[in-house]
Amino acid sequence: MLKVAVIGTGTMGGEHVAAWRNVERARVTAVLGRNKDKAEALANACGAAAYDSFEAMIEEAEIDAVDICLPTHLHREFAGKAADAGKHVLCEKPIALDPEEAESMIARCRERGVRLLIGHDLRFCPEYVQARELVLSGKLGKVGTIRMSRRSRFPEGADGWYGDSAKSGGVITDLLIHDIDWLRWTFGEAERVTALRVGGSGEAPLDYALVAVRMRSGAIAQLEGSWAHTEFDSSFELSGTGGMLVEHMADSAPLRLHARSGPGKPQAVAVPDMSLSRNSYELELAHMTDCLLDGAEPIVSARDAAKALEIARAAVESARTGRPVALVREEDKR
């Protein structure tokens, strides 16, 4: 049984506490938050102890791993504290605010002999998993264009931290990184990034970005991220020589395949439903539990998370300067 401490009592802390209750081989033993009342409410929901002191929690509670659900600018600090205490580190995306912080977290956990697992939950969303499988199976042929959109209301957070890019990284680093990670997981490494952005730090509730990514495969991806929408909405279109795959979360059959099987207009066919009874957070945390208890390899490595962050920060830089940003190849870093 994996004993977990959830750090953070905001939206993600609540999501994770609820998800952990459905992970068979794990149990939340502690909830830490600066608001003791909120910590106690979450702790009572899962039979855990509530704390407002990290040091007291580490000293008193039985903990194998900490689950960091804090504002992004606090990830490195608490990952370091947990690693120094000999606890495995689970951390919500993005791994950190910038690549240097990410490398620091990876190195610290490696030095302390603990594992660092990052929560990029699109890798566990059924429709995104199935879309990737269709791409890799060759059913779409050679994919040349990718369009992904993720839009929501401006998120609420304690002290308005989402509206401060120095704390959240803004819509690209916090929201679009979902699609950036899935893009890289499915299509490989990115070559260069060009971005446009309006709003951002100091202009809440408006933060909107368009990001174009040239993949090394030659494919072009267009990513739209918005914190200026009315309700949450996501969709994607993948176009290849063999057909087109369309997803929209609002549709009763979210995935539709338009196959190019012959002359004439391609016919849309609903992809068989692969929905599961558990949500992506439950699947993600169950997988992390397997990694820690059984030594399984993670579907999302800390290095994957750092790579996604590198692309996101390149997009932020492109939006700032108005110029494309080339991604440095790993072999050129050595």
Q: What's the pLDDT band for 275 if we cut at 50, 70, 90? A: low
Q: What is the CATH number of domain 2-121+281-300?
A: 3.40.50.720
Based on its alpha-carbon atoms, the radius of gyration of the chain, rounded to whole angstroms, reads: 20
Q: What's the pLDDT band for 259 if we cut at 50, 70, 90? A: confident
Task: Look at residue 254 and tell me whether its pLDDT is greater than 90.
Answer: no
125-276+309-326 to CATH, choices 3.30.360.10, 3.40.50.720, 3.40.190.10, 3.40.50.2300: 3.30.360.10
Tokens representing residue 20 in the block: 């952990």
| DSSP code per residue over 102-118 | HHHHHHHHHHHT--EEE
- The whole-number pLDDT of residue 332 equals 59
Q: How many CB atoms neighbour CB 218 within 10 A?
A: 11
Percent of the chain at pLDDT exceeding 90 = 82
Q: What's the pLDDT band for 217 if we cut at 50, 70, 90? A: very high
Nearest-angstrom CA–CA distance, 7 and 174: 18
Phi-psi region of 322 (alpha: psi -120 to 50; beta: other; left: phi over 0): left
Tokens representing residue 184 in the block: 């890289």
Q: What's the pLDDT band for 156 if we cut at 50, 70, 90? A: confident
- The whole-number pLDDT of residue 334 equals 57
Task: Look at residue 24 and tell me whether its pLDDT is greater than 90.
Answer: yes
- The whole-number pLDDT of residue 272 equals 60
Nearest-angstrom CA–CA distance, 63 and 48: 11
Mean predicted lDDT score pLDDT of the chain: 93
The CA-atom distances, in angstroms, between 300 and each of 109, 148, 165, 257, 287 are 16, 20, 25, 27, 10
Q: What's the pLDDT band for 201 if we cut at 50, 70, 90? A: low
- The whole-number pLDDT of residue 250 equals 78
Q: What's the pLDDT band for 270 if we cut at 50, 70, 90? A: low
| Averaged pLDDT for residues 84-98 | 98
- The whole-number pLDDT of residue 278 equals 62
CA dihedral sign, ordered 234, 274, 94, 334: negative
Residues 163-191 have pLDDT tens digits of 888 999 999 999 999 999 999 999 999 99
Residues 35-70 have pLDDT tens digits of 989 999 999 999 999 999 999 999 999 999 999 999
User: Pairing relation of β-strands 2-7 and 26-32?
Assistant: parallel
Percent of the chain at pLDDT exceeding 70 = 92
Task: Look at residue 266 and tell me whether its pLDDT is greater than 90.
Answer: no
Sorted by where each begins, the domain ranges of the chain are: 2-121+281-300, 125-276+309-326
| Averaged pLDDT for residues 261-278 | 58
Residues 228-248 have pLDDT tens digits of 999 999 999 999 999 999 999
The answer to whether residues 114 and 120 touch, using CB atoms and an 8 Å cutoff, is no
Whats the size of the chain, residue-wise? 334
